[in-house]
């Protein structure tokens, strides 16, 4: 039969369509691989051995993180928790108005920071409780080898609990100076060795705010 100019063209055969689909799939796979390598900067997975990336989504501490970031959060949580315990003792025991004010200030700042750090660890897939780490029992009182500097012993806490009035004010100020100095040391380690930007930002805040409070407590001790 003679094909006229109005005769429709013969459609591509299924074999041709399949070939086009395969080529398109291969190209997409190549782009995906290229995109992965470009994002991480390496193509052999070596970075994952020292630095992990948090899961995507609503991440409270996005980006890469390392062991120093994890240690900072895991140790600072119980450290902050003890500061809250000490601050709670000021209610009904402290006599000095500035001691009461600083105790409330510490509680108001450190409780939200505890919740932040717990959310980081959850997002990173790391344990939140410091009790799961060897030598990290809460209230152990040992700052050496535990990663928590400046922690009060059980006897320290018992002495503070038994004190009242000016005696409490003096003990609280001195203990909080030691406790804050420990927190500053831990935060400075995070500043030097951490990688996660959010964790390092909190470390900056700890150094700045707790150093200022240390100065205030020294002034209180000077007049009590």
Instruction: Quick: pLDDT tens for 31-64.
Output: 333 333 333 333 333 233 345 555 556 789 999 9
Residue 127 near residue 74 (C-beta atoms within 8 A): yes
82 and 137 in a common domain: yes
φ and ψ at residue 64, rounded to 5 degrees: -70, 150
Asked if residue 174 belongs to a domain, the reply is: yes
Residue 136 near residue 126 (C-beta atoms within 8 A): no
Full residue range of the structural domain in which residue 24 is found: 10-40
Residue 153 near residue 86 (C-beta atoms within 8 A): no
Answer whether 0.75 is exceeded by the pTM.
Answer: no
**If residue 53 lies in a helix (H) or strand (E), which one and from where to where?**
strand 52-53
Residue among 100, 71, 103, 90 at smallest CA distance from 180: 103
All residues at 6 or more sequence positions from 63 whose CB lies less than 8 Å from its CB, including other chains = 53, 54, 196, 197, 198
112 and 24 in a common domain: no
R_g over Cα of the chain? 29
Query: How large is the average pLDDT for residues 119-148?
Result: 63
CATH number at residue 159: 1.20.1260.10
Asked if residue 56 belongs to a domain, the reply is: no
Domain total of the chain: 2
> What rounded mean pLDDT belongs to the chain?
78
151 and 79 in a common domain: yes
All residues at 6 or more sequence positions from 103 whose CB lies less than 8 Å from its CB, including other chains = 86, 87, 88, 90, 91, 94, 172
205 and 146 in a common domain: yes
172 and 106 in a common domain: yes
Asked if residue 207 belongs to a domain, the reply is: yes
196 and 128 in a common domain: yes
Length of the chain: 224
34 and 72 in a common domain: no
Asked if residue 176 belongs to a domain, the reply is: yes
Which pLDDT value is given to residue 60? 93
């Amino acid at each position: 039969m003679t094909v006229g100019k109005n005769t429709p063209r013969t459609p591509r055969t299924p074999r041709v369509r399949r070939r086009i689909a395969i080529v398109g799939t291969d190209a997409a796979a190549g782009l995906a691989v290229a995109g992965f390598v470009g994002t991480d900067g390496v193509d052999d997975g070596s970075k994952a051995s020292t630095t992990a990336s948090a899961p995507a989504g609503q991440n409270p501490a996005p980006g890469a993180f390392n062991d120093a970031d994890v240690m900072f959060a895991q140790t600072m949580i119980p450290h902050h928790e003890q500061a809250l315990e000490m601050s709670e003792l000021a209610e009904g025991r402290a006599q000095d108005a500035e001691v009461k004010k600083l105790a409330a200030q510490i509680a108001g700042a450190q409780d939200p920071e505890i919740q932040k750090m717990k959310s980081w660890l959850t997002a990173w897939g790391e344990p939140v409780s410091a009790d799961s780490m060897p030598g990290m029992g809460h209230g152990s009182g040992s700052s050496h080898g535990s990663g928590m500097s400046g922690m009060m012993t059980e006897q320290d806490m018992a002495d503070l609990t038994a004190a009242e009035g000016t005696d409490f004010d003096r003990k609280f100020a001195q203990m909080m100076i030691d406790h804050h100095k420990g927190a500053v040391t831990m935060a400075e380690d995070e500043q030097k060795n951490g990688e996660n930007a959010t964790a390092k930002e909190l470390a900056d805040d700890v150094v700045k705010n707790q150093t200022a409070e240390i100065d205030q407590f020294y002034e209180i001790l000077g007049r009590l």
